[in-house]
Amino acid sequence: VRIAYQGEPGAYSEAAIMRLGADIDALPCRSFEDVFAAVEEGRASAGILPIENSVGGSIHRNYDLLAQHDIPIVGEVQLRVEHKLLAAPGVRFEDITRIYSHPQALAQCERFLQGLDRVEIVATYDTAGSAKMIGEGGLRDVAAIASERAARVFGLSVLRSGLEDFEANITRFLIIGRTPLTLGKPDKTSIVFSVPNVPGSLLKALTVFAWRDIDLTKLESRPIRGRPWEYLFYVDLAIGRDEPRCARALAQLAEFALSLRTLGSYRAWREPETADTNETPAADPASVQK
């Protein structure tokens, strides 16, 4: 099993892959588009995408890419994100004049960053990639906000821990692939639909689920390109697609929706809430199908 992810080794996406099994091969990719391409071209059996962070919100680019590609969602992983301040060995906190990280990570550590004087904050395109720049460039006045694993991968030291504003800083990742994962009987279904551009349309669409007591865990809207102020709606349902109630709700929605597609039906793998991230045992490797 090889799962493609965006970023450098030590990225949070890679850590999410490791939750699924110790013997899974993780394939680093330059961009989210490349993750889709790796699965489409067979270079990876699956891909992993951050879709939402509990503090920063949705990763909208990945919603767009899910609709543009035809690879189903087959699983979900949640990971508590612990941000560390990393620098070259021997560098002291006082030596730091610049801090590199991804804008999402910077936004999640706002309080820590606001407390710093005379330090320039530089947005980059990757957390682990920031650690790499420091390690490979031998930079001694720069620190990165990234994972502890990124420190090990690029030979850096941890200067500060627990940088995140909220302890409950959790990222949801979706797994996409051609073959289902055996995380268990699907209990979630993700759909994307559009409705006629008339008053009350969205409400009408949502009633098909409420009428059947199907809970919505997420509602996201994205523009329809080329049709100003019309939207695609992405909804996560707390029910598997094979349940008759779900099938009937989707059939009713199809009577009214202009477009409707099921992006996947799957089971979420959740990190036990009480365990420390580093000590959580990985899922049984055998539970991930080839």
Binding site for its own copies (CB under 8 A): 52-58, 60, 123, 125, 165-166, 168, 170, 199-200, 202-203, 206-207, 210, 213-223, 225-229
How are beta strands 170-177 and 46-53 bridged, if at all?
Answer: antiparallel
Question: Nearer to its own copies by C-beta: 8 or 164?
Answer: 164
Q: Per this entry, what is the length of the chain?
A: 290
Q: Could you say which of 32, 112, 154, 173 is catalytic?
A: 173
Cα separation of 68 and 80, whole Å? Answer: 29
DSSP type of residue 287: G
The nearest distance, CB 168 to its own copies, in angstroms, is 5
As measured in angstroms, the least distance from the Cβ of 1 to its own copies is 28
Cα 43 from Cα 46, distance rounded (Å):
9
- DSSP H or E stretch at residue 50: strand 46-53
Residue 48 or 239 having the CB closest to its own copies: 239
Residue 263 per-residue DSSP state: E
* Cβ nearer to its own copies, comparing 168 with 286: 168
Q: Work out how close the CB of 89 gets to its own copies at its nearest, in angstroms, rounded to a whole number.
A: 31
Work out how close the CB of 212 gets to its own copies at its nearest, in angstroms, rounded to a whole number: 11
Q: Which two tokens stand for residue 149?
A: 């694993």
Q: Which of 112, 171, 189, 209 is catalytic?
A: 171
Q: What is the DSSP annotation of 73-125?
A: EEEEEEEE---EEEE-TT--GGG--EEEE-HHHHHHTHHHHHT-SS-EEEE-S
To its own copies, the closest distance from the beta carbon of 189 in angstroms equals 15
Sign of the dihedral defined by the CA atoms of residues 100, 104, 106, 108, in that order: negative
Q: β-strands 157-160, 57-58: how paired?
A: unpaired
User: What is the Cα–Cα distance from 49 to 7, expressed in whole angstroms?
Assistant: 11
171 flagged as catalytic:
yes
Chain CA centroid to CA 189, Å: 17
Q: Which is nearer to its own copies, 90 or 226 (CB)?
A: 226
Query: Closest CB to its own copies among 22 and 210?
Result: 210
As annotated, the active-site residues are 171, 173
